[in-house]
Amino acid sequence: MRALRRWWPLVGPSLLVTAVALGGQFLPLSTQLQVRSVLVTTVIVVALYVFVGNSGVISFGQVSFVAVGAFAAGLAAAPADVKPTTFPKLIPFLAELEIGNIESLVLAAAVGGLFAFIVGIPLMRLSGLSAGIATFAVLIITNNVLRNWEAIGPGAKTLSLIPQTTFFIQATTGLLIVMAVAYVYQTSRYGRRLRATREDAAAAQSSGIDVHRERLWAFTLSGVLGGFAGGLLVHQLGSITTQQVFLDLAFITLAMLVVGGIGSLWGAVVGALMIAGLNAFLAEAQRGITIGSFDLELPGGTRLLTLGVVMLVVVLFKPTGLTGSRELTWPFSRSRFPQPASPSEPLGSSPGGGAGRSEVEGVDPSATEQ
């Protein structure tokens, strides 16, 4: 029980995600497609959160790692017999390569991480808006190169015929893995050191924390997860262009994170599920759906308008996000202010021992984290 409670900030969101994924199984086939897309978007937002949430540095650039991962996995997994004709300028190594599903996901994660590490070495010296614009520049350059250098990218064409393997199981497992990695990282010593620099960079530095190194770790990990998310995305869509992993995706995923609450895993998951879910629902509603005996058909264009209004209203009136940037709290505490251990449980039963100790234990783990 204590272990469950300790891991609740990960277990709770995981249960929610699983419930959403399982619930999606009972929906019509076209809607299942939307549910998978929501799950993959959530993977991207959690990957973004690993860097932005823990470091407090705004980055528009994480989507470049998604893009690189998507095209690494997509180009490597597309059938080798059609690649030389569709992409005549592709370097022979990539054109002849044809690898399986799991291998391509691993490749995507590796390429995303490597790219993030190389880019991060100089960029992680920057803070504030300079960092934001520099990562924005990385995104522009990544897109520009993938779009125009046809030896390594698809160019302006659509990369298609990628095996569609991101179904219910792969989308859900992928998301659960990424969430677990994000949570283990943020509660590890590396994550806590980075969070200290977020709260007060000067104080953290004077306590001996190397801000540059901690940020670089998180940036690289976020690149690995982002690349992996790109791999999942390309295997979900089956075909992709460079414009699908560019500015729009960068802005919308950042907005999802802020709407949910930038500083917590729970916020990332809630924001992504809510906005991406709303997006999917409205897309379906534009095509016409029936809820009970009620027919709903929205005029075209209402989807993006509604999304814009919801994002603006949440950010303006709940600036810390829907979750207040807090982790999910254990729901079964008897009162808001936890009591010392109950008499039936012998004092000193916990390894730390002593009444004072158990009082501290009684406090919600997420509360001590803040």
Partner 1 sequence: MSFVQLLIDATALGALLALVAMGIALVFGVMRLVNFAYGELITVGAYTLVLTKGWPIVLRVLAAFVVVIASSLLMEVIFRPLRRATAATMLVATFALSFLLQNMFLFIFGPQGETIEFLAPLNRAIEIGDLRIRWITIIAIALGAVLLGFMSWLLGKTSVGLQMRAAAADFTTARILGVRAGRVIMLAFVLSGFLAAAVTLVLAVQRPLATPNYGFVVLVPALVGVVVGGLGKLVPATLGGFAIGFATVVLGDLLPSGSRVFLNSVLFAIVIIVLLVRPDGLFTGRTGVAERV
Taking CB under 8 A as the binding criterion, the range among 5-13, 99-107, 126-134, 158-166 that sits at the site for partner 1 is 126-134
Measured distance CA(195)–CA(316) in Å, rounded: 25
Size of the site for partner 1 (CB under 8 A): 50
Q: Is residue 315 a contact point for partner 1 (CB under 8 A)?
A: yes
Q: Is residue 105 a contact point for partner 1 (CB under 8 A)?
A: no
Q: Is residue 130 a contact point for partner 1 (CB under 8 A)?
A: yes
Binding residue for partner 1, selected from 102, 141, 177, 296, defined by CB under 8 A: 141
Q: Is residue 123 a contact point for partner 1 (CB under 8 A)?
A: yes
Q: Is residue 312 a contact point for partner 1 (CB under 8 A)?
A: yes
Taking CB under 8 A as the binding criterion, the range among 43-51, 182-190, 298-306, 348-356 that sits at the site for partner 1 is 298-306
Measured distance CA(39)–CA(60) in Å, rounded: 21
Measured distance CA(319)–CA(70) in Å, rounded: 32
Closest distance of CB 67 from partner 1, Å: 14
Cα-flanking dihedrals φ and ψ of residue 292, to 5°? 60, -120
Q: Is residue 19 a contact point for partner 1 (CB under 8 A)?
A: no
Q: Is residue 208 a contact point for partner 1 (CB under 8 A)?
A: no
Measured distance CA(162)–CA(306) in Å, rounded: 33
Q: Hey, which residues between 237 and 256 contact partner 1 (CB under 8 A)? A: 251-252, 254-255
Q: Is residue 144 a contact point for partner 1 (CB under 8 A)?
A: yes
Measured from the CB atom, the residue of 144 and 339 that comes closer to partner 1 is: 144
Binding residue for partner 1, selected from 90, 124, 245, 328, defined by CB under 8 A: 124
Closest C-alpha among 259, 256, 261 to residue 272? 256
Q: Is residue 199 a contact point for partner 1 (CB under 8 A)?
A: no
Taking CB under 8 A as the binding criterion, the range among 91-99, 121-129, 220-228, 338-346 that sits at the site for partner 1 is 121-129
Q: Is residue 32 a contact point for partner 1 (CB under 8 A)?
A: no
Helix (H, G, I), strand (E, B) or coil at 290: strand
Q: Answer for the pair 296, 289: CB distance below 8 angstroms, yes or no.
A: yes
Amino acid at the residue 22 = L
CB burial of 261-271 (b: ≥16 within 10 Å; e: otherwise) equals bbbbbbbbbbb
Q: Answer for the pair 161, 239: CB distance below 8 angstroms, yes or no.
A: yes
Measured distance CA(190)–CA(115) in Å, rounded: 21
Taking CB under 8 A as the binding criterion, the range among 137-145, 159-167, 184-192, 351-359 that sits at the site for partner 1 is 137-145
Q: Is residue 276 a contact point for partner 1 (CB under 8 A)?
A: no
Q: CB neighbours of 332 closer than 8 A, spacing ≥ 6?
A: none
Q: Is residue 138 a contact point for partner 1 (CB under 8 A)?
A: yes
Q: Is 186 buried (19+), middle (13-18) or exposed (0-12) by CB count in 10 A?
A: buried
Q: Is residue 205 a contact point for partner 1 (CB under 8 A)?
A: yes
Measured distance CA(162)–CA(13) in Å, rounded: 31
Binding residue for partner 1, selected from 26, 93, 294, 317, defined by CB under 8 A: 317
Q: Is residue 94 a contact point for partner 1 (CB under 8 A)?
A: no
Measured distance CA(46)–CA(257) in Å, rounded: 8
Q: Answer for the pair 243, 57: CB distance below 8 angstroms, yes or no.
A: no
Measured distance CA(48)–CA(226) in Å, rounded: 7
List residues near partner 1 by CB under 8 A: 52, 56, 58, 122-130, 132-134, 136-138, 140-141, 144-145, 148-149, 201, 205, 211-212, 215, 251-252, 254-255, 258-259, 262, 301-302, 304-305, 307-309, 311-312, 315-317, 319-320
